[in-house]
Structure 1
Amino acid sequence: MIITKTPLRISLFGGGTDFPNFYQEEEGCVLSTAIDKFIYVIIKERYDHKIRVGYSDTELVDHLDALKHELVRECLRKTGIHQRIEIATMADIPSAGSGLGSSSTVTVGLLQAMYAYLNMPQNHEALARQACEVEIDILGKPIGVQDQYIAAYGGQRFMHFSAAGVSVKSIDIQAENWATLNQNLMLFYTNITRRAETILDEQNKNIGQRIDHLRTLAQFAKEACTLLQQGNLHEIGALLHESWRVKRELASRISNEYLDALYQTARKAGALGGKIAGAGGGGYLLLYCPSAQQPQVRQALHSLSELPFNLERNGTRIIFEQR
């Protein structure tokens, strides 16, 4: 039996510049961080030749092609496992439609577990790259490539995307600044679950008309990286606000009147900046708010559920292995 543990993430800056249609011609830059909310994958050999998959549904099939769970199906196909296998996935929070990168987190965790099962360990880069192949090249999802890399590597990362490839760098942040950033970030559930693919598909189609917006978002990611390294954390809040003003113009459903009202309420209560996590349209509202103002923000957003979390240094890893 193998168990893997893979983190969800919050994308702070540069989302949208990690689309291949953009970075094949331009420069994509993303600043993202893993958080201590995880998706677990359990994998073990079966006593018969069937494939059993447990998630929100349960599947028991004789042949790989009969699996409805497309991520499991294509990860099994990619790793060459076609029978005698049992897989289960579990999450710390209801993560589908959350904007916290759950689809890519599942994919990375599945690949990590399957390769461990086969005694063929892969490094972080290989896991992220193959997760992109599964989601984008094989399944044709209209998504970017940042989520796969942050799920694999963990920590707080500056990612650069270009036609030459992907580079992932750890950001050198002093311990006290890491602690302050950790304390000042807040997540609130907007009570809206959305399909990211619908928003991302429109965003992908709009790239040609939004080149200047995307260039600005990539530049914000660079500036944010510098601010973190210098310890100018409160400027991160203001930059998040400016970034959100640009990001919401990438597609029509990234925000709406309800989400705009929530964000403005949080700003009036003391949040310096924020955004709707992930593709937008619902899921979680991310805020940067100094600790002194957080009680007022919680009161102003009392109708929403807050998700307490910490920044996470580790990427995907094996937490149990018994043969």
Structure 2
Amino acid sequence: MQHELVREAMRKTGMKKGVEITTLADIPAKGTGLGSSSSVTVGLLNVFYLYQTGPQTIERLAKEACQIEIDILKKPMGKQDQYAAAFANLNIIRFNPDETVTLEPLLIEDRVKDALETNLMLIYTGVTRESSDILSQQKDNIRHRLSILDEMKAMVDEGKNHLLRGRLDEFGKLLHRGWELKRKLAEKVTNPQIEKMYQIALEAGALGGKICGAGGGGFLLLYCPFFRQDKVRDALGSPRELPWHIERQGTKVIFNVRR
């Protein structure tokens, strides 16, 4: 079987035959930085288990998706995409030295969550890329970038406090500081096209942002107060923009009929 995610999900769940698999997505299948491969893997595990033996825990789905992508397929990636795809809402995800993962739900007020959704824009750069080269370079650079990584880690609690207190503009500015650090992790994280788009957005009214995923292309996430967003769109030449919202339920089977 050529589709490696489908193949390994079938092996993991013991699915051998008797199924036809179709995948549909609103974004390109690769190179967007939005964790699409992990979303597919988690979804496949979910539906295969339900079809054969019944629903499994969300923790198991996330853990086994990590095993497939990282341990079996040797992707140079972390575990954040799989856990983000499996679980709902906003969470602080902690990756522990013993390889366990813990999640802390971020319980912000609904009005703050709604405003955050409104103020974040997801803009397609027009470039897809293979993340493996960028991630491999980042991995090789870790020992030389520890101070940068420590600074990025410290931003988690700062961002959490901004969201809990409804200081969304400060959260947007924190995204900018985080992007300035992220671009130093590897030379391919950014490129002249991304830099130009980001600078134009800032000059038009965005307060901060970052390239999603490993970098090098895919989607640019911008924090921009709603009343300035049309100006940003005009400045960027009406780019392709992806409507989005915070997922409230996580991975789920939306249709299941037994004959």
- Give the equivalent residue in structure 2 for 1:157: 91
- Give the equivalent residue in structure 2 for 1:57: none
How many residue pairs are counted as aligned between the two chains? 257
Question: Which of 107, 110, 129 is the equivalent residue of 2:44?
Answer: 110
Matched residues in 2 for 1:294 and 1:271: separation? 8
Matched residues in 1 for 2:173 and 2:145: separation? 22
What letter is aligned with 2:112? N
Matched residues in 2 for 1:309 and 1:106: separation? 18
Question: Which of 103, 118, 140 is the equivalent residue of 2:74?
Answer: 140
Q: In angstroms, what is the RMSD of aligned CA positions?
A: 1.1
Runs of 4+ in 1 over 6 A off after TM superposition: none
Aligned with 2:253: secondary structure?
A: strand
User: Residue 234 of structure 1: CA displacement?
Assistant: 0.7
Question: Aligned residues: percent identity?
Answer: 49
Matched residues in 1 for 2:147 and 2:49: separation? 41
Question: Which of 166, 170, 173 is the equivalent residue of 1:235?
Answer: 170
Matched residues in 1 for 2:86 and 2:56: separation? 10
Matched residues in 2 for 1:230 and 1:303: separation? 33
- Give the equivalent residue in structure 1 for 2:223: 288
Answer 1 or 2: which has greater strand percent: 1
What letter is aligned with 1:128? A
Matched residues in 1 for 2:168 and 2:209: separation? 13
Q: How does 1:181-220 map onto structure 2 within 5 Å?
A: 181-220=116-155
Matched residues in 2 for 1:128 and 1:308: separation? 25
Matched residues in 2 for 1:317 and 1:185: separation? 25
Aligned with 1:282: secondary structure?
A: coil
Verify: 1:78 aligned to 2:12, yes or no. yes
Q: How does 1:251-290 map onto structure 2 within 5 Å?
A: 251-290=186-225
Matched residues in 2 for 1:278 and 1:271: separation? 20
User: Residue 120 of structure 1: CA displacement?
Assistant: 3.1
Q: Deviations over 1:82-110 (max 9, x none)?
A: 22222111112324211110010000000
- Give the equivalent residue in structure 2 for 1:50: none
Task: Give unpaired runs (5+ residues) of structure 1.
Answer: 1-66
Answer 1 or 2: which has greater helix percent: 2
TM-score, with structure 2 as normaliser: 0.96
Matched residues in 2 for 1:189 and 1:93: separation? 10
TM-score, with structure 1 as normaliser: 0.78
